[in-house]
Structures are given as C-alpha cells and as structure tokens.
Structure 1
C-alpha cells in the first residue's frame, strides 16, 4: 500500500490563531534556556512563541551516524521541546518521520500536563547523515538515537518519562522501549501495525471483506472497475495534471502504473481517514471523468505516486523494505482490469539504494511485547486497515492495556474510547507519569487533531 502524509494548511492556520503569551516570570526563573545550552551535544536553534504556560524550543542534537562505530562520524538530529516545568513529567514523542515546525501537544502530554520532546527520525531531512549510508537506517540505530536524547535530558527533567507516537511513530516508541526499557516509565502507542510475518498478510483481506456496509464496499468496487474501464481518459487527465505541476513517474514506471495504483489502493486510503458516513461521497458510474478522477485524488492523492511526492518518504519505504514489512492486499475484484503487479515498498525506493529484507526483526519485537514487556497502552481504530495486524498483549505482558475505538480510523485516540476505557487508560497513564491530580484542559486541541493526521501514514 502506498502511504503519504496529509499536508494540512489548517494546521498552520491553527498555529497562527493560537493566543501567544510571553514567558512567565516563573518560566524565567526556571532558567531553562541556560540549562539546555549546558547539555553537551545539544544546540538551541531558536525559541519561538508558544501558548502559555509553555515555552517552545527548536533544538538539534549531535548523533553518531553508527552508534556501534562512533568514529564513522556524526549528524545533527532535529527535535523540539515544549517546556512547562522541570518538575513535570516528560513525554518523548517519537514521530517516526519528519516533524512539524510549530508547537503542538500530543494527547499524553495534555493528559499529564507534561513537558514534551518531539524527535525527527534519522534519515528524514534535515536529520540525515551526509553522505548517507542507508545501512545505518534501522530500528536499533533509531532507538539508540532516542536513548541518547533521554540520557542527555534526564539531568534536567529528572521525573517520569513516557513515550508516545502514532502509526510509524508508535512503532518507533515500541522499538525504543524494547531496546531501552529503562528509559521510560510507560508508552502510549496509537494505531501502530505489527507486520510480524511479511509473507502472510491475509488479515488485510479479511479486514476489507468486512469493513463498512455491503453497499459501501459494492459502490467502491463498482467505481474502481468503472475507473479502470476509463483508463485511457483518466490517464490522459492524470498526465495533464502532472505536466502542469511538473511531476514525474520514474519510480512507479509511468502514469499508467500510477493510475492503476491510485485506483486499486483507494479502499485502504478511504478507510484510513474516512468514516462510514463518507461512503455517500463515492461517485456513481454516471459521474464525469473529471469527477471520478477527482474523487480518487481527494481520497488517495495524486502526489503519492510521483517522484517529487515520494522523495521525502524514501526513508520509510527503505525501512519497510528491510525490516518493518509492508502490507499486501489481494484485488480479486479487479483481476480482469489490472495490468501490473501490486506496488511494494521497493517500488518507492530509488534503484541505486539497495535493500535486503530481514524476516526476524519484527519477530523479535513481537515476541518481546507478548512475553517480556510492560507498561504499554495500545489504541487502535476498528475501521483502520493498519489495525488488521496490531500489536497484541501476551502471557508475559505486564501492566498493559489494549483498546479499539468503535468505528475509529487511523486518527483514533484515548478520547474516542468508551468512557470506562478512557478512564482506565488515563488512570494508567497518570499513574506511570506520577501525576495524581486531574489534568486541566490545555490549548490547541484542533491543532493537535490536525497534527495527528499529518504524523500518520495516509495510504
């Protein structure tokens, strides 16, 4: 499945609309800026406006290109800090990708009134070694990046630490917790897939056979077939768009490949961020060519299949092709219409970057979660295709919780659970964080919702 970030101009507008306050007197006496500047390897790039009572810093941290061979060189890893107070807990937000430039608060940060560090994943620009040796991009190296950041900042923030992330960011939190369990007191993991056996993906086929209503699935399949019957006309429109926007299709092959992937993978994209009520938006077969193609663009995104749109996501596809795995879905209802094999992670990695898949990496993680882990909260959405292969608790998992938001998609969170589940999850999180008093509402809820989507794989 082809996935990309949703670019949300609304998020930028939300940042601009937040009431910005100058640092309070208490914040000034905390002297956090001087403390940050005193941390070896940490650079304060800028302090930017943030809603009170927070201060927002853009930072960089010197990391080893290869933690097993420090002499191989270093690179600068980008991170941001939402500072509240040194006696509050710290939330380690692992993005799994790039990160937003502006201030935001994750759900665990709001629920615990904590500080928050948000870390850009290695190899996502600008946090990429130069020159890039892609063999240095693996889950252990990334976890060790986070381990060193935790070690550097615990001298300032000596209280409880909780890690969190959504989608690939959630996977990243699990990997860090696995390799360095002493770094954090708990992890809140949202909508993170666990592709433990990359050769067995029938769970996705079972998911798509049941998700939504019979009518919705029929309408979507009918539109897909209709679109591929109009292949020549829709390909011409797609090519016109690409020419006007200076987009090319070298990675996927050509515009015909791109159109086929766009249409075939639309159900995944639809259920990832839509609701059952959105089935009413599926065009009828009487719709014009422009209307049909426009719907697939709205749901699945033209740029997800162009060289330019894929450029910044190459690190994800590289990891999927080497360790993480990649979902494979059968398109039996389209078998008479398809000309090409389905896309894979390798499809979106430039040919000059070599990949070799390790089938044991995810097995190790899966067994650890089931038999030797503790202090996890996993949240999934009932209608999210990524949840077809979730992390599961096992006989050796201790003090951990697993939830599924009814009707939820890839934006599911604790707030969308039932009242009893939300209360239980929040109580566990606050217990791990050492917070006993009820948290007060914080600003920026709309912005956080937008960023949850921006930080999640779209398709």
Structure 2
C-alpha cells in the first residue's frame, strides 16, 4: 500500500522564526517554553505565531531500539501548536513526514495539536551505521515513540488527549492505541487500511467491480489497457519526463519499462483514490484518443511514477513489505499485455538491501484487538476510496465506524453526512470533555 495522494494529506513548508510578544503573555510564553525545554530529550528549535497561537517546532531524542535503549538514539521531529494547558490535545500523525497545519478536528475541539513525524521518514532517521538498519522501522517501535512523546507532553498539556491520523496515519494512531491503550482518551482513524490477511484481496477486487458506474469502470479499464497496447509509442515520452524530473529506476524497479508498467497498473487505483465519480466525464475514448491525449490524461488522473529517490516511498514500501501488506490485484483484463507478472508489490520498488519477507501477525493481532477490546475508537472511511475496501471493525466498547458516501481518500470527519457528522462530533467532544 502506498499513499499516492500524500501531497493532498500533508502540508509542505517549514515554519521558522521567533514569536515577538510583550507584557503578561510574553512571560507566560517564556514559562511554557521553559517547561518544554525541561523535558529530558526535548529541544525547542523555533517558535512562530500561527493563527494567534505559538507553534513550537521540537525535536525529541528517541531510542533507535526501544528494547535496547542503550544502543543509541535518533532525533524525531514534532510540533506543538499551543492554546492552553487545560484544553484537550490532538495527537496527529500523517504516518509519513511532519505536518505543520492544524486539523479540522483540532478546530472542532478548540484544542492544542501535537504533530509527529514517523520514524525513518524525512529527517526523523538515525545517523551513522544505524541509518541503514531498517529492521527498527516497525509498527511496535513507532508506537513506542509516540507513547514516550505522549507521556512527556502530558506533563505540560493537562487536558484530554485524542489520537488522530489519516490513511497510514490512521493506521499509526490505531497501532499506538493497541500497544498503549492508557495513553489516549480516544482515537479517530480516517481511511485507515486494515490488511489483516495479506493473502486475501477479495475486498479490493469487489471494490473495482462495483465502484462508480459500469460505463466509467469500462472506460477506465480501456484506457489502462490501451496504455499498454501503445507502450512502445509512449515509453519514450515517459522516459523523457522521468529524466526531466531527475527520476532514476536502477535501484528498485530496474528499468524505465518496468517503471512504466508499474505506473499503468496504478492508473485505475490512482483515479479512484484521488478523484470522484464526477471525473468519469473526463475519461477519454481509449481507441480514439491520440497518444498525447491518452498519456496526458493518464498522468493527470491516475498514473504515479515510482522512482529510486522517493524519500517517502522507501520507508513506506519497507513497512508495506514487512508488516502493513498490500493489494495484489489480478488485472485479468491486462494479462496478455504484461511483461512483468507480479510486479505490483512493494519489494519491486525497494533496493535489494531493503527487501524483506512479509509477516502478517502484527496487523492480524491489531485487527483482533480492535474488534474485541478496543475502546473509544472511531473509524471514518470513504465510499469510493480503494484504501477503504479493507476496514477495521470497531468493538462494542464505545467505538464507531462511519462511511462518507462517494468520497475518495481525502475523506475527513467534516465530509460525513450531516446526521453522522453530528453524532461523531458529539462523541469526540464527550471523549475530550468538551461541552
């Protein structure tokens, strides 16, 4: 599984600078900063005013291996958007790099927000010899990272804490709750895939047989097939675009031809992940479209170019290969055109040194725990999102699941129908002790 729509979910840009305030508020800000800096391992790297409140950029020293803390540490990045110590705090993780924006749920709860960068993503990586030891990139290690952050910052943020994440971040929030159920007062996981049995992809197959209209599905399948029929004509354009972007394929997929086939396999998935049924009207007639028209539409509406230097891709694909799982789709309508059967799986994208066998026991255990023991958990899915095909099923312990009809992978709590939205907001406010 790879979040191809990550640019939609993450807010780019770094915050730097210093808050300039005076009077009593300056004294309060200085006191709060001192309290943050008194936490062992915590460093305030900068602070800036963001919508009238300080946004603290922080780093935190974490063990590379929580089972052996003596083996060394790495620096994990996080931010804290602070309103007041007695307000609730939303602990947000994208599951990837660091997010600098505040979430709608944070606004709903009038809350503080802590945002965490996942270990081994962007700048939150070990240095030295440990940098290349990817065995410590696990669900359990990241859950332990967030456990330590939560316990440390609860010393200064005294209100209720709500975990929040979308896509892989929703998985990450769920994993945190599984291993440290006493940390948080509730969890909201949005479009969080649940590949409890990596060998069973029937839910994905059903999705692609039923999503949208028959006419739209047929048109998309025809475009996907035609992109392979015209491979020899379109591959030079693909190679030229890759060169212009500085993409290489030698370490992972190996050749531009393999990268092209992989991108075509992603086309229909990418369309439904990032677009809606209204965009079916844009799908060209595969037989009548020129090469340029076919290629341009496909690159805009579904194809994603996997390449060697994708800073988000390598750690994600390592996790998918080892623990998270992936959708191994059949592509029967393309069988006679594929040169590399079995290509669409995460090890295809990784350098040889990072490839590893899959162990599904962790996700299967989390799935069982959520269904039977999880408390105060809310899962929000999207009706037309392929990642929402395999879903967590919440327990009967003050836990809930909602679906936003017709929504794609950018679904969020505010996209629920009015009655469900009101119910969901009432529940989360109760968890957060907000009137």
Q: Structures share a fold, TM > 0.5?
A: yes
The DSSP-based 3-state class of the residue aligned with 2:348 is helix
After TM superposition, the structure 1 = structure 2 runs for residues 357-436 of structure 1, keeping only pairs within 5 Å, are 357-394=358-395, 397-436=396-435
Task: Return the offset for 1:8.
Answer: 6.4
**Alignment partner, residue 74 of structure 1:** 73
List per-residue Cα deviations over 1:30-83 (Å, max 9, x = no partner). Answer: 33212111111100011123111x211110000001111011100100001111
Task: Return the offset for 1:223.
Answer: 1.2
- Shift of the 27–197 alpha-carbon distance from structure 1 to 2, 3 Å rule, reads farther
**Alignment partner, residue 109 of structure 2:** 112
Task: Return the offset for 1:299.
Answer: 2.2
**Alignment partner, residue 196 of structure 1:** 196
After TM superposition, the structure 1 = structure 2 runs for residues 89-104 of structure 1, keeping only pairs within 5 Å, are 89-100=88-99, 102=100, 104=101
Task: Return the offset for 1:212.
Answer: 0.6
The separation in 2 between residues aligned to 1:267 and 1:334, in whole angstroms, is 12
Task: Return the offset for 1:219.
Answer: 0.8
Higher RCO (CA-CA < 8 Å; seq separation 6+): 1
**Cα contact 1:93–1:164 (8 A) shared by 2:** yes
The answer to which of 20-29 and 401-410 deviates more is: 20-29
The answer to which of 33-42 and 4-13 deviates more is: 4-13
Q: Which runs of 5+ in 2 are unaligned?
A: none
**Alignment partner, residue 289 of structure 1:** 291
Q: Which runs of 5+ in 1 are unaligned?
A: 437-459
**Alignment partner, residue 54 of structure 2:** 55
The separation in 2 between residues aligned to 1:107 and 1:253, in whole angstroms, is 41
Aligned length: 425
The separation in 2 between residues aligned to 1:25 and 1:434, in whole angstroms, is 31
The normalised TM-score by structure 2 is: 0.93
The DSSP-based 3-state class of the residue aligned with 1:81 is strand
**Cα contact 2:164–2:188 (8 A) shared by 1:** yes
Task: Return the offset for 1:138.
Answer: 0.8
**Cα contact 1:27–1:85 (8 A) shared by 2:** no
After TM superposition, the structure 1 = structure 2 runs for residues 238-253 of structure 1, keeping only pairs within 5 Å, are 238-250=238-250, 251-253=252-254
**Cα contact 1:272–1:410 (8 A) shared by 2:** yes
- Shift of the 21–215 alpha-carbon distance from structure 1 to 2, 3 Å rule, reads farther
The separation in 1 between residues aligned to 2:204 and 2:361, in whole angstroms, is 21
After TM superposition, the structure 1 = structure 2 runs for residues 8-407 of structure 1, keeping only pairs within 5 Å, are 27-30=25-28, 31-52=31-52, 54-100=53-99, 102=100, 104-130=101-127, 131-132=130-131, 133-250=133-250, 251-285=252-286, 286-302=288-304, 304-308=305-309, 310-341=310-341, 342-394=343-395, 397-407=396-406
The separation in 2 between residues aligned to 1:239 and 1:187, in whole angstroms, is 44
- Shift of the 210–238 alpha-carbon distance from structure 1 to 2, 3 Å rule, reads same
- Shift of the 75–229 alpha-carbon distance from structure 1 to 2, 3 Å rule, reads same
- Shift of the 268–408 alpha-carbon distance from structure 1 to 2, 3 Å rule, reads same
**Cα contact 1:97–1:121 (8 A) shared by 2:** yes
Q: Which contiguous aligned blocks of 4+ residues in structure 1 show a shift greater than 4 angstroms? A: 8-13, 20-27
List per-residue Cα deviations over 1:195-241 (Å, max 9, x = no partner). Answer: 00001111101000000111101111111122211110110111121
- Shift of the 311–301 alpha-carbon distance from structure 1 to 2, 3 Å rule, reads farther
